[in-house]
Structure 1
C-alpha cells in the first residue's frame, strides 16, 4: 500500500451568498483554484480529479470544471455528493485510490455556489410532488432521510441536538464570538494569505465580523421561537467558494524529489442519526482516532467544521483540555460554509494550524446532512 502525501492545497476566498461571486459559476472559480494549484505544484497533468458539490446544477460538475480549467480531456473527473462532507469524501477517496495503486497523483477538493443554487422540481408522478411547501413540486434542499422533507432540516437537527444536550444560547454565542475574533486575528496577521487564490482580483474572506459583540448577538431573533437556542449568529451563514489539494504517492514523491506538506495517516466515514447530524463531526473523529490508536491530547491541531456552534460545545464538554488547538484560527461560524468545498477548506486550515504549532499530527472532521461524517488525520512533514 502506497503512502499518500499532501503536496499542495489552495482555496478561493470564501464569500457570502449573493455577494461578489453571485454571477460566477462554481466550475469557473473552481477552475481558477485548480490552475493555480497545478502551477505552484509544477504539475502538467494528473491521474484524476475528484470534486465535491452539494447544491449545484447536477451532472458531473467536476468534469466541467476540469475542462474549463483547460486540463487535458484525457484526465478523468468525478463529482462527489456527500453534502457538507463532499470535499472531505473526495479527498478520502483520492487517497484510497493512490494507496491501492490507482494512479499516483490526484487532485481532490470541492466547489460550491450557494448563490446559483437552482430551484428543482419533482416529477408530477413522484409522491413528493404535492408535499413541497408550494405543493407544486419545487424544492431547493434535497431529502436527506425518509419521512423528512423539511427545507430547514439541518437547522432543526442542530436545535434538536442542543435541546437533547441542554446546551444554552449563552454557550452557543460564546463560540460564535470566539470564532469571529480568532478569524479576525488570523485575517489581520495574514495567516491564510498564501493559500487564497484571487478570483476576479478579490482575496478577502468577507464573512468575518471583527466588531461582533454579545450585544449584537442578543438582538438576533431565535429561529424557532421562545425556548430555543439557534439564531443567525450561532449558525453559519451561506457562502460560495472552492478548495482543492494535490495528493501523491510516496513513489511519485521520491521519484520527483518533491517536499510534501503532510502525510495522510488515516481517513474515516461514519453514519449516525440523521435527526441530529451535528453529532457527526466528533463521532467520526472519535472513530478515526481510536482506529489510529491516538487521543485528542496527542494532536497538535484539530479542525471541526462548525456549521453550528453546538458542534463546538459538544467538543468543549468532552475535551476541555484540548481547546488551545481546536479551530485555532476560527471556524465556519466566521469564515462560512460553502457546503461542497468545506472539507478541503478544513484541510487547508489544518495545515496552517499544524504549521503554527510547529508540526505534529492533526485531524479534520465534518458532519454532513443525513447523519454522515468524514474525518482525515495528517502528520506534518519536517
Structure 2
C-alpha cells in the first residue's frame, strides 16, 4: 500500500443560513474555494476531485462545481453524500484510492449551501406523498421522516446518557470562547480562503454568556435539553484538502503537512446518531493499536453539545487537546463541508502545538460515524 500525504488545504469563512452567502449556490461557493486550493498547491490537474454535499441539487454536484471552477474537463469528479460525514468520508475515500495505487493526486473535502438548497417533495406515486408539501431534511431511517429528527436524536441522546444542562452549557461557552480567541489572534488565517467578500466566520459569538444560555427556549415541544445554543446553526461553507502519494510528493519536491494513517467508520442507532462520533474514534484507535494518550489533538464535529459530553466521558484525559480552536457550536456546521473543516483545524492544531498524531471524527445523520487518523510530518 502506498503512503498517503496531505499537502494542505483551505476553507471558506463559514456563513449562517441566509447570511453573507445567501445568494451563492453551493457549486459556486465550492468552486471559489477549490480554485484557490488548486492555485496554492499547484494541483491544476488532479486525478480526481471528490466532494461531500448533503443538501444540494444532486446530479453529481461536485462535477458541476469543478466545471464552475474552470477545472480541465478531463478531470473526473464525484460526489459523496453521508450527510454530516460527507466531507470526512470524501477525504478517507481519496486516501484509499491513493493507497491502492489508483491515483497520485486528489483534491477532496466538501461544500454546502443551506441558503440555496432546493425544495424537495415526494411524487404522487410515492407512499409518503402528502400533497404539494416540501421537506428540507432527508429521510434517514425507515418509518420516520420529520424535519426535527436530528434535534430529536440529540434530545434522546441527552436523555439516555443522563446528560445535564450544566454539562451542555459548559461546552457551548468553551466553544465560543476558544473560537473567539482564535478569531482575535488570527490562528486560522493560514487555512482561510476569503471568497465573496466574506471577512469572518459569522456564527462565532464572543459575548456568549451563561445568562444568555439560561434564557434560551427549548427547540422541541416538551423538550428538556436542546436549544439553539447547544445545537449548531444552519450554515454555508466549503473546505478542501490536497492529498498525494509519496512518489508524487518526492517527484515534485513537496513537503506534506501530514500523513494519512487510516480511517474507520461505524454504524449506530439512527435515532441516537450523536453517539457514533465517539464510537468511530474508538474503532479507529483499536484498529491501529492506539490509546487516547497517544493522540496529541482531537477534532470532532460538535453538531450538538451532547457530542462533546460523550467525548469527555469516553476520553476524559483528552479534553484539553480537543477542538482547541472551538468547534461547530461556534463556527457552524455546513454539512458536506464540515469534515474538511475539522481536518484543516486538526492540521493547524498539530502544527501550532507540535503534536504528532491527530484524530478527526464526525457523527452523521442516520447513525453513521467516521474518523480519520493523521500523523504530522516534520
Give your verdict on TM over 0.5.
Answer: yes
Aligned residue runs from structure 1 range 270-349, under 5 A: 270-349=266-345
Match of 2:205 in 1: 209
How many Å apart are 1:224 and its aligned residue? Answer: 2.4
Matched, 1:19 2:19: yes
How many Å apart are 1:119 and its aligned residue? Answer: 1.1
Aligned residue runs from structure 1 range 176-215, under 5 A: 176-215=172-211
Aligned residue runs from structure 1 range 156-195, under 5 A: 156-195=152-191
The answer to whether the Cα contact below 8 Å between 2:179 and 2:331 also exists between their aligned partners in 1 is yes
Match of 2:108 in 1: 108
Partner of 1:211: helix, strand, or coil? coil
Q: Deviations over 1:212-254 (max 9, x none)?
A: 1000111110122456111111001111000001000011111
Q: Deviations over 1:14-36 (max 9, x none)?
A: 01110010001111121111111
Q: How far apart, in 1, do the equivalents of 2:220 and 2:25 lie?
A: 33
Aligned residue runs from structure 1 range 15-54, under 5 A: 15-54=15-54
Q: How far apart, in 2, do the equivalents of 1:227 and 1:267 lie?
A: 35
C-alpha root-mean-square deviation of aligned residues, in Å?
1.0
Q: Deviations over 1:266-312 (max 9, x none)?
A: 11111111010000100001000100111111111000100000000
Partner of 2:83: helix, strand, or coil? coil
> Which of 349, 354, 366 is the aligned partner of 1:353?
349
The answer to whether the Cα contact below 8 Å between 1:197 and 1:203 also exists between their aligned partners in 2 is no
Structure 2's unaligned 5+ residue stretches are none
Q: How far apart, in 2, do the equivalents of 1:233 and 1:212 lie?
A: 9
How many Å apart are 1:40 and its aligned residue? Answer: 1.1
Q: How far apart, in 2, do the equivalents of 1:143 and 1:42 lie?
A: 40
How many Å apart are 1:203 and its aligned residue? Answer: 2.9
Q: How far apart, in 2, do the equivalents of 1:266 and 1:33 lie?
A: 26
Match of 1:124 in 2: 124
TM-score, length-scaled by structure 2: 0.98
> Which of 130, 139, 144 is the aligned partner of 1:143?
139
Structure 1's unaligned 5+ residue stretches are none
Stretches (4+) displaced over 4 A:
none
Q: How far apart, in 2, do the equivalents of 1:227 and 1:197 lie?
A: 39
Partner of 2:56: helix, strand, or coil? coil
TM-score, length-scaled by structure 1: 0.97
Q: How far apart, in 2, do the equivalents of 1:152 and 1:231 lie?
A: 12
Q: How far apart, in 1, do the equivalents of 2:202 and 2:137 lie?
A: 25
